[in-house]
Amino acid sequence: MTTTRASKQSPDVSELARSVQAGERAVLARAITLIESKRADHQQAARALVQELLPLTGRATRVGITGAPGVGKSMSIDTLGGYLTDKGHKVAVLAVDPSSARTGGSILGDKTRMARLAADPHAFIRPSPAAGTLGGVAAKTRETMLLCEAAGYDVVLVETVGIGQSETKVAEMTDFFLALMLPGAGDELQGIKKGLVELADMIAVNKADGDNIARAKAAAAEYRAALHILSPRSPNWIPPVITYSALTGDGIEQLWENVLEHKTKLTKTGEIAAWRREQQVKWMWSIFDDRLRGRLRSDRVLKARLPQLEAAVSSGQLSPAVAADEIERALGFTTG
C-alpha cells in the first residue's frame, strides 16, 4: 500500500528543478515526461516546474527545421548537431514524429536515425509523438524546449514532420526557420510553397555530393530566383540559399554561420526579442484554446450534445452562431 501511495504522489518540483538545472539527463527526461502527462496533478506540477525554471530559459539559439519526407532531415540534424557539439555546444533535438491517425501511435525512431548524436554526451534527443495536435507539432514542445534550455542546452533544434500547418507552428516557437530541399527533383519550384518560403530564413539544398553537385547548384539557383518575388519575414534579412551534404558534411559550417549571422543582425534590430514576446502571447492563447477544448471533451452532457449540434448546423436546421451560443452556455459563459 505504501508503494502504491508513493507512486501516486506528485513529484517534488523544487528537487526536479535543481536536478534539471544541474544538467542531469535522466531527470530532464523524467521532467519532460511530467510535462507530457495528462494527469491533473502532473499538469499542475509541470506548470510549477516551468515557472520555477523560467528565469534560466531564453538563452539558446532556437532553430526550426522542416523538409519533405526523404529530404534527409534526420541525417542533416545528426551531422549539424555533431558539428555543433564538436564546437563546444550542448545540443537538444526535439523531433516531432508522425502519429497514426487511427491509433495515435508514433514512430519514435529518432535515436536510430540520429546515431551520432544518440551517442554524444553533449546532445539530448527527445522524440515526441504528434498525437493529432494541430500542425503535427507535439502540444508540449514549447515547454520541453524551456526545460532543455534550463538544463544548459544552448542550441535547440526542432524538427517538424513537414506536413500541413506544422511549419507555421514550429516557426512560431523558434528564432530561425530552415527549409531543407532536394536537388534534381524534376521541377524544383514545385517544392516551394509560398507560405513555407515566406516563413523560411534560409533554404538549404541537401545531397550536394558526387554526381548531385551540379543538380544541387541548379536547384539552388531556381530557389534564389523564386525568392526575389516573395516577401521575407524580416526587412533586415534576405534568406540565403545554400547547398550542402549531410552525408559528407560539406556546407554544414556555412549553414551554421548563416544562422549565427541572422541571430547577430536581428538581435541588434530587436526583432528576435520582439518575436519571442509575440510567441509567448500566442503560446498563452494556444494553451487557453486547448483548455477550452479539454472542457468540451470532459463534459459528458455537452460531449453527447455536440454531434447533434454539428448535425443540425450541417443540415441547415441551426445557424452556427446559435449552436455556438448553446456551447457557450454549457461551458458557463454568458452570451449577448
Q: How confident is the model at residue 82 (pLDDT cuts 50, 70, 90)?
A: very high
At residue 179, the 3 state secondary structure works out as strand
Q: What is the per-residue pLDDT across 168-227, written as a single tens digit (0 to 9) for each?
A: 788 888 999 999 988 865 444 545 555 666 788 999 999 999 999 999 999 899 888 877
DSSP 224: H
286 in the same domain as 172: no
More confident residue, 56 or 194: 56
Is the pLDDT at 304 greater than 70, yes or no?
yes
Q: Per-residue b/e over 162-175, b at no fewer than 16 CB within 10 Å?
A: beeebbbbbbbbbb
Q: Please name the residue ranges forming H helices in the chain.
A: 2-8, 13-21, 25-36, 40-53, 73-86, 110-113, 115-118, 141-150, 166-171, 194-199, 213-227, 252-268, 271-298, 300-315, 320-330
273 within a domain of the structure (yes/no): no
42 within a domain of the structure (yes/no): yes
Number of structural domains (the chain) is 3
pLDDT for the residue numbered 6: 41
63 in the same domain as 154: yes
Amino acid present at 53: L
274 within a domain of the structure (yes/no): no
Among 109-118, 176-185, 204-213, 244-253, the range scoring the smallest mean pLDDT is 109-118
Please say whether the beta carbons of 207 and 182 come within 8 A: yes
Strands 176-181 and 61-66: parallel
62 in the same domain as 41: no
pLDDT for the residue numbered 138: 57
Q: Region 68-95: what's the mean pLDDT?
A: 93
Among 98-107, 120-129, 259-268, the range scoring the smallest mean pLDDT is 98-107
198 in the same domain as 209: yes
C-alpha cell at 328: 457557450
Please say whether the beta carbons of 92 and 156 come within 8 A: yes
88 in the same domain as 189: yes
Is the pLDDT at 236 greater than 90, yes or no?
yes
pLDDT for the residue numbered 163: 56
- List the CATH number of the domain containing 10: 1.20.5.170
Is the pLDDT at 232 greater than 80, yes or no?
no
Is the pLDDT at 150 greater than 60, yes or no?
yes
187 in the same domain as 157: yes
pLDDT for the residue numbered 101: 38
Is the pLDDT at 122 greater than 80, yes or no?
yes
pLDDT for the residue numbered 137: 53
Round to whole Å and give the CA distance between 179 and 162: 9
185 within a domain of the structure (yes/no): yes
316 in the same domain as 245: no
Query: Three-class SS string for 271-282?
Result: HHHHHHHHHHHH
- Of 36, 55, 74, the position where a domain reaches its end is 55
C-alpha cell at 197: 518560403
Range of the domain at 307: 281-330
Q: Which of the residue ranges 9-13, 267-271, 284-288, 299-303 has the most confident prediction, judged by mean pLDDT?
A: 267-271
207 within a domain of the structure (yes/no): yes
pLDDT for the residue numbered 110: 53
pLDDT for the residue numbered 13: 94
Q: Pseudo-torsion of CA 233, 246, 117, 137, nearest 10°? A: 40
181 within a domain of the structure (yes/no): yes
Among 15-29, 32-46, 131-145, the range scoring the smallest mean pLDDT is 131-145
Is the pLDDT at 111 greater than 60, yes or no?
no
Is the pLDDT at 7 greater than 50, yes or no?
no
Percentage of residues of the chain with pLDDT beyond 70? 82
More confident residue, 288 or 166: 288
137 in the same domain as 107: yes
pLDDT for the residue numbered 314: 94
pLDDT for the residue numbered 222: 85
- Of 55, 71, 91, the position where a domain reaches its end is 55
237 in the same domain as 208: yes
Is the pLDDT at 146 greater than 70, yes or no?
yes
210 in the same domain as 197: yes
Query: What's phi and psi for 278, nearest 5 deg?
Result: -65, -40
Please say whether the beta carbons of 171 and 165 come within 8 A: no
More confident residue, 218 or 295: 218
C-alpha cell at 63: 532553430
Q: How confident is the model at residue 302 (pLDDT cuts 50, 70, 90)?
A: confident
